Amino acid sequence: MIILMVLMMTVMFIVGALVVDVGLWLTERRGAQADADFVALSGAWELLDPSAGEAEVTVAVESALAANDEQLNASLIGVEVTLVGERCVSVDVRHDSKPLFVGIFGIGAPDIGAHATACAGAASAPGNLVPFQIDDNPGPCFDADEKPIFTSMCPIEMGAQGGNPRGMLDLQAPDDFCSFSPGDGDIEDLIINSAPGICLINDPAINDCDPSNNGPWYDCVAIQDGNPKKVIDGVAARVALDGGCDLDSNGWDDFDETVDLVFGSGVTGIYAPRDCDPSTPGTQASPRLVTLIVLEEPPPTNSGPTGYPIIAFAGFYIAGCASETAVVVDEDDLDRDCIPGSVLTGPPGKAVVWGRFVNIIVAGVLAV
């Protein structure tokens, strides 16, 4: 009986030792993953600066790990920086560990590490999404490399005005989907209050919409016939809500009043939205700051219930409106309130919304 009790106590001791040590290793594994996530995000933050390269990212990652290594047992095993296409940083972090009890039985500690990847960019729409359709073909809004032109005014044409075959995006869908073709969305309401669904960038390796018709989709959008008058009515109602960031009291939120510079300088810099109402929880951005969905090609006329892949999101500052035939160089050529008058001549259905692209960080992501 005594021998049996000794054996049982020995087994219980071994099991208990294993449980304690395995628990410690699992805790260490969670710590390694937290470190990997943190330093990857630190590297991705550097990539928000267009001038940053691998050297700046590596320094940021190493500094972040050193500052976060409270137990002095973390080491950086590898850093991989991607600068072509997506701007991402991948890291591998190792945590040294020791056996507490199982070392008595000749059992060593396992290798404990974690991997994390973070990218500078928006995989999902960062908020304030409006149903303006725009494609990245070269023109007044995109250059020959299909990159946004931050230094010039960009027109957002609606419906069939000026021979433009494009309509508006249908951004009302059941549940939390982004788009659903059979139900036309309320254009005016979508502009004033922004789209309610979750919109995601389509996987470029797939670049299709399943189902191809009707939807609903998260990463694809349908086109609906745009009513230009409703567009202008919606824009006018939306920008009428500004003023919270109107520091110079000129009647509207100017671009430099709506954002705070994070990196760079001028209109090509990286910005964060300014909080126009600090007394309200969260960042209350100016209604002139919106997000646009970017498509690869302009959908053809009468495209029907087809879904088109979302390739990017673009931060956009609504500067104002002008008549369809107006020559627009800067904000002085616009009706800032989008109300027919001395600048915005002609019927509302013949008006064009103008604005500027802006690299804007919202809730930890970047719309470009």
- Within this chain, do residues 173 and 270 fall inside the same structural domain, yes or no? yes
197 shares a domain with 71: no
Show Cβ contacts of residue 41 under 8 Å, excluding neighbours closer than 6 positions: 118
Domain boundary among 119, 143, 176: 119
CB atoms within 10 A of CB 150: 16
Report which of 179, 177, 163 is spatially closest to residue 223, judged by C-alpha positions.
179
Residuewise pLDDT in 10s, the chain (368 residues):
666 555 565 555 555 555 555 556 566 677 778 888 878 877 877 776 667 788 888 888 888 888 877 777 777 787 787 776 667 888 888 877 665 555 555 555 566 778 888 777 666 667 789 998 888 888 889 889 888 888 889 998 665 444 444 568 889 898 899 999 876 678 889 999 999 898 988 887 777 888 888 889 999 998 887 677 788 889 999 999 999 998 888 888 999 899 988 777 777 778 888 889 988 887 888 999 999 999 888 777 666 788 999 988 889 999 998 888 888 888 888 989 988 665 566 665 677 899 999 888 754 444 44
- pTM of the entire predicted model: 0.73
| Domain extent for 243 | 129-367
Among 93, 119, 145, the domain boundary falls at: 119
Whether residues 21 and 110 share a domain: the answer is yes
As beta bridge partners, residue 11 has none
Pairing state of beta strands 168-170 and 220-224? antiparallel
What separation in angstroms does the CA of 161 have from each of 42, 166, 251, 330? 46, 9, 29, 22
Number of domains in the chain: 2
Q: Residue 124: inside a domain, yes or no?
A: no
Final residue before a domain boundary, out of 79, 101, 119: 119
